[in-house]
Amino acid sequence: MTTYPAARQDFSRSVPVRLWEDGFARDPSRYYTALRSQGPVGWAELAPGVPAYVVTDRRAALDLLDDDEAFSHDPRPWESTVPDDSPVLGMMRWRPNSLFSDGVDHLRYRNSLIDTFARIEPHDLRARVHRAVRVLVGRFGPRGEADLVADFARPLMALVFNSLFGLPDSHSGRLDAALGKMMEGGAQAAAGEAEFGGYVLELIAAKSQSRGDDLPSWLLDHPAALTPEEVTWQVFLTLGAGHEPTANLVSNALSRILGNALYYSTLTSGARPVMDAVVEVLHHETPLANYGIHYARRPVTFHGAWIRAAVPVVVSYGAMAHFAEREVTSGRHPKDASHLSWSAGPHACPVRQHTLLIATEAIERLTQWLPDLDPVLPRERLGWRPGPFHRSLTALPVRFTPRSPDQPGDPS
């Protein structure tokens, strides 16, 4: 049985750090500092009246992510304690998929996803990304200006994932809008969850009637013999986890690249790979800032904190990234230079290579089409979407020399 240091901190009378405030989106550093001041585990609110323990220390995070004995991923005991209209339920509600399961069920779901995504050849995924970039540049390229969040990163993911899941481009706007509402929490979260759920249910119903050369069809026919309901929730997970964080990874990386003229010139000249910028974001501005949610199976002491059962224990990848970047900025080397953006342990991201390929190919292709992207605003004036879970830009406006994909010298 895993043992941890005796509890020194009981948060029952503490004021929680409110991660749902607009101020958290604008300046997460002071919220992370407040959490870290409480020790390896801090006390926060994910929404009004929804408390959670937040792990900000890397060693404690690894212990949590590896400990399936003391902690579970099943949120149902917690769900019974929160109102049905809680704005974070869309991201935390139990569903029969690999994210919210343990043990044998988790292995069955996870292995079905790994096997299914293994059927996607890198050259095919690369071609899908290139086609999506061409479609989007065709829309905004002639204007000479664009918002690289609303016009590029988010619709790009909807186009790529819709194609992988066997849906036409015309459905991409619906997917993008529903996921955006759900991720932010707030008043629109329930509507976003319902819209996204309806989208997935319609998709699986169609694939159950007529298979295609796509991910849902492969899951339906997988040897694990998942039921249509189980396939629905695997797709719910992979579409949501694939679209939103990857879109944020692309836009966060572009904002860092374009905010540094020297950096941008080395990328467009080929002297520095785009992968450098993507990895930098994963280290210092991870797009899924607070997640990896666990629940103590019974009250337990964990890294100096008394953890009650049926209360979320959240891994703050964002806090760890923030403090690592602060060490780099001060001239010190982080104690551990690796990042946890892919999580760790039994629930580590099973499709990280697919995500990296999509993000790097999208940025490379865009900067080949439009090599003179010029940000309209300095990076410190960009806005960030509210919500406790993500680090996501509201907009990234740019100017450039107008260009159409059918002009001579295109990168295809």
Does residue 252 or residue 187 have the better pLDDT? 252
pLDDT at 12: 67
**Is 60 exceeded by the pLDDT of residue 333?**
no
Q: Average pLDDT, stretch 333-343?
A: 71
pLDDT at 405: 72
End-to-end CA distance of the chain: give it in Å, rounded.
57
Q: Average pLDDT, stretch 328-337?
A: 55
398: left (phi over 0), alpha (psi -120 to 50) or beta: beta
| Torsion angle (degrees, nearest 10) of CA 60, 284, 237, 74 | 20
Does residue 267 or residue 158 have the better pLDDT? 158
Burial 61-99 (b: 16+ CB within 10 A, else e): bbbbbebbebbbbbbeebeeebeeebbbbbbbbbbbbbb
pLDDT at 14: 80
pLDDT at 262: 74
Return the bridge partners of 17, or none. Answer: 44
Helix, strand or coil, per DSSP, at residue 280: helix
The DSSP string of 173-200 is HHHHHHHHHHHH-STTHHHHHHHHHHHH
* 61 band by pLDDT with thresholds 50, 70 and 90: very high
* 347 band by pLDDT with thresholds 50, 70 and 90: very high
Q: What is the pLDDT of residues 66-124, one digit of tens each?
A: 999 999 999 999 999 999 889 899 889 999 999 999 999 999 999 999 999 999 999 99
Question: Any alpha helices (H) in 80-165, and if so which ranges?
Answer: 89-92, 103-117, 122-140, 154-164
